[in-house]
Structure 1
């Protein structure tokens, strides 16, 4: 559920950035696509090991991924008449805040509970580095 909530604003941000400037949207879409590979694995593997059902694992990964296009569609319907620099700034700030909140409030405490707290912080920092490098490479 947390990943679906996390994907919804990603779709919104990618779509709205594409409406404003495709040169901004392409690096964002590439970064999110790279980011979605381990995210999909993190959804499907636990479901598969818990149920032994590949179809169910695929189904839940698919559902969490479909919240991105849903975010794009809902964002377009709600914001299409209000798109300007201020709206884009507000949307990107909200999306960034949601992503950071989910990472810090949901994922890190879960990692601490399972005894891999430092490893998860290193992963968070490495993920930030990968995102920064990908944005620099596609600038």
Structure 2
């Protein structure tokens, strides 16, 4: 049991690597921000459509090849996940609507500069937008990491030699997840410590999920319930990618960097799943 917990902790702890990359040096430039958010969106979209949603359909089909019933239930769960995060998104107070704001903020790297009142308003608006993006991304990733940590823990309990490549794959895609949280929070607040620890806490949801799942949820999270959760989490991640990560990345003005990073994130996750 200790080995299983440590493997889950390693997988979740990899988020700290991405968090560290997001707060080191001058990682607040527009291109860096666009690349980090685009990469993470690519990872989350690919994982959702290629891994989580099909796996949810398979579980809902009884563990065999997806059936019409299993696919229909997974699809329903997917859109229920989107509906859930959309409702939560509406309930989160915002200083500025992300769908209406199009301002950009230049990095001063700590130097004092004179800015026009309109520019100052845009700066504050973008900081509020980015802080909200980081917070919602952290919440969504933590939600995703709880069942992920539980699944990793159970796999490690059953067969540690099988769980090791699973842990490696999860750890690799947790790195850009940490980046996705740390970069906007660092940019919004100017605090490296706040950005690092908020991102790290999303990864710690994995060992927390392992403990909660083992102590309380193991009898419940089986069969159809687990399949529905996997598909629902896929919906949450797709919504976050399309509604938060990509719009925030595009606001940097680095469109091509966003697209190239998005594709790179998909490629990284594809190679990870194929190799491991």
Q: Which residue of 1 aligns with 2:71?
A: none
User: Which residue of the partner structure matches residue 34 of structure 1?
Assistant: 172
Q: TM-score, normalised by structure 2?
A: 0.41
Aligned equivalents of 2:144, 2:238: Cα separation in 1 = 12
Cα shift at 1:28: 3.9
Q: Which moved more, 1:100-109 or 1:73-82?
A: 73-82
1:11 aligned residue: 146
> Higher relative contact order at CA 8 Å, sep ≥6: structure 1 or structure 2?
2
CA distance in 2, matches of 1:110, 1:49: 12
Q: Distance in 2 between matches of 1:106 and 1:50?
A: 15
Query: What count of residue pairs does the alignment treat as equivalent?
Result: 138
SS in 2 for 1:84: coil
Question: Relative to structure 2, which stretch is displaced further, 47-56 or 104-113?
Answer: 47-56
Q: Is the 8 A contact 2:150 2:210 kept in 1?
A: yes
Higher helix share: 1
TM-fit CA distance, 1:25 = 4.9
Question: Which residues of structure 2 form unaligned runs of 5+?
Answer: 1-134
Change (3 A) 1:24 1:87: farther
- Greater C-alpha radius of gyration: 2
Question: Which of the numbers 232, 237, 250 marks the counterpart of 1:99?
Answer: 237
Is this contact kept in 1: 2:152–2:167, CA < 8 A?
Answer: no
Q: What does residue 136 of structure 1 align with?
A: 274
Tell me, yes or no, if the aligned pair for 1:16 and 1:76 is still in contact at 8 Å. Answer: no
Where do 1:1-139 residues align within 5 Å?
A: 1=135, 2-16=137-151, 18-19=153-154, 22=159, 25-44=163-182, 47=185, 53-76=191-214, 79-138=217-276
